Structure 1
């Protein structure tokens, strides 16, 4: 998956994101619309964790999503 934009069907990706980060609302995901920077910001806002930890979590999620698509 592209580092700056989450590829694929956004509707399908939204479900996976909500499974991983349950505090993200449907409105949050509508605002994010696949933008990785906005995703990181919303995760930081909802969970109160540092940016480097958020980036590590997104990378882990992205890698696991990529593995499922292979």
Structure 2
């Protein structure tokens, strides 16, 4: 799934994102709104991960969809 598909299907996959990253609130998920970089930033902030770690997690998540 590429970035455009991810953004376009966000309403379908946001539940899976919330399940994977349970510390993200509904407001966090709404702020992301399908934007991959915003999701990475939220993961960095909530979980204290490096940019590279967050990017890898998001890549792995998208690949699993």
SS at match of 2:56: helix
Give TM-score, length-normalised by structure 1. 0.81
Alignment: residue pair count: 65
Runs ≥4 residues deviating over 3 A: none
Contiguous gaps of at least 5 residues in structure 2 = none
Task: Report the RMSD for the aligned CA atoms in angstroms.
Answer: 1.6
Contiguous gaps of at least 5 residues in structure 1 = 66-70
Give TM-score, length-normalised by structure 2. 0.87
Q: Residue 4 of structure 1: CA displacement?
A: 5.8
